């Protein structure tokens, strides 16, 4: 089993965020990738290419979740902090440009209301299963009896479908690869050998949820 913080491998995080221009409320989604290096020589996986992929493929589906009074920040790729070496130097990459939400309609539901996407892997257990809280500018017509309706579900599904599972970010003819993963910081901090799990499927659930950290409105 490869050690994903050493030997040329690594865990990288990608942050997508939106900030409300009036209230300053921020909604953030974080995605983790395992960069795996095969063979000898330098790792050819390119974090800048990962940032470019999110700017090209994910930015617009994310912006479509929000009305134009939200600022959509550029995707940011960062080397994940290793809890076993918290002071190790890290780097950051970004791509694209700041823009505004381009979703239609009105925002008349509390921003704490959201959907949950479950990130499933081939492993069993809470630490190997991920969740994403999916928000945006939602209105009353997009939910009924505690269930999100098709219009909202389609926006969130398009967003999740845009996340690259195995982005093409290595050099030509290289065997190096990257995978979207569920990262267990708890496992890594406990020095458990396996702490990144390749995602096999994503399920967006129609139930309306309340995320307390977004309860300002």
Please report the pLDDT score of residue 214 as a whole number. 64
Residue partners of 185: CB distance under 8 A and separation at least 6 = 83, 195
Please compute the mean of the pLDDT values over residues 7-35 and round it to a whole number.
92
pLDDT digits (tens, 9 = 90+) for 171-199: 888 889 999 999 999 999 999 989 999 99
Please check whether residue 1 lies inside any domain of the structure. Answer: no
How far apart CA 50 and CA 43 sit, in angstroms, is 14
Question: If pLDDT is split at 50, 70 and 90, which confidence band does 6 have?
Answer: low
- Buried b / exposed e over 181-195, threshold 16 CB at 10 Å, is bbbbeebbeeeeeeb
Please check whether residue 3 lies inside any domain of the structure. Answer: no
- What domain count does the chain have? 1
Report the DSSP beta bridge partners of residue 109: none
pLDDT digits (tens, 9 = 90+) for 123-139: 999 999 999 999 999 99
Q: Note whether 187 and 11 are within 8 A (CB).
A: no
Please report the pLDDT score of residue 174 as a whole number. 87
Q: Please state the separation of Cα 78 from the chain's center in Å.
A: 12
Please check whether residue 69 lies inside any domain of the structure. Answer: yes
Check the CA dihedral 136-141-68-156 and report its sign. Answer: positive
Please check whether residue 143 lies inside any domain of the structure. Answer: no
- Buried b / exposed e over 134-148, threshold 16 CB at 10 Å, is bbbbbeeebbeeeeb
Please report the pLDDT score of residue 1 as a whole number. 34
- Nearest partner of 114 among 146, 85, 83, judged by Cα: 146
Read off φ and ψ for residue 141, nearest 5 degrees.
-70, -10
Please check whether residue 180 lies inside any domain of the structure. Answer: yes
Please check whether residue 77 lies inside any domain of the structure. Answer: yes
Per-chain mean pLDDT for the chain? 92
Q: Note whether 23 and 217 are within 8 A (CB).
A: yes
How far apart CA 21 and CA 173 sit, in angstroms, is 45
**Looking at per-residue confidence, does 5 or 46 come out higher?**
46
Report the DSSP beta bridge partners of residue 115: 134
Please report the pLDDT score of residue 42 as a whole number. 74
**What's the start-to-end Cα distance of the chain, in Å?**
46
pLDDT digits (tens, 9 = 90+) for 32-74: 999 988 766 677 899 999 999 999 999 999 999 999 999 999 9
Please check whether residue 204 lies inside any domain of the structure. Answer: no
Tokens standing for 84? 């076993």
Q: Note whether 186 and 178 are within 8 A (CB).
A: no
Q: Please state the separation of Cα 90 from the chain's center in Å.
A: 19
Question: If pLDDT is split at 50, 70 and 90, which confidence band does 2 have?
Answer: very low
Range of the domain at 41: 10-103+151-199
């Amino acid at each position: 089993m490869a050690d994903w913080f050493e030997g040329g491998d690594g865990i990288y995080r990608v942050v997508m965020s939106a900030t409300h221009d009036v209230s300053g409320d921020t909604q953030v989604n974080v995605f983790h990738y395992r960069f795996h290096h095969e063979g000898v020589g330098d790792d050819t996986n390119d974090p800048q290419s990962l940032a470019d992929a999110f700017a090209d493929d994910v930015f617009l589906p994310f912006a479509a979740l929000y009305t134009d009074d939200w600022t959509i920040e550029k995707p940011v790729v960062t080397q994940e902090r290793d809890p076993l070496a918290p002071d190790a130097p890290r780097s950051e990459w970004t791509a694209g440009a700041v823009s505004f939400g381009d979703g239609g309609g009105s925002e008349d539901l509390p921003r704490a209301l959201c959907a949950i996407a479950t990130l499933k892997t081939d492993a069993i257990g809470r630490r190997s299963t991920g969740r994403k809280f999916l928000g945006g500018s939602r209105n009353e017509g997009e939910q009924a009896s505690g269930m999100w309706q098709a219009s909202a579900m389609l926006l969130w599904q398009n967003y999740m479908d845009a996340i690259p599972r195995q982005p093409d970010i290595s050099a030509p003819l290289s065997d190096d690869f990257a995978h979207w993963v569920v990262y267990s910081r708890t496992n890594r901090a406990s020095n458990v050998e396996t702490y990144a799990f390749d995602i096999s499927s994503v399920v967006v659930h129609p139930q309306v949820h309340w995320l307390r950290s977004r309860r300002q409105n």
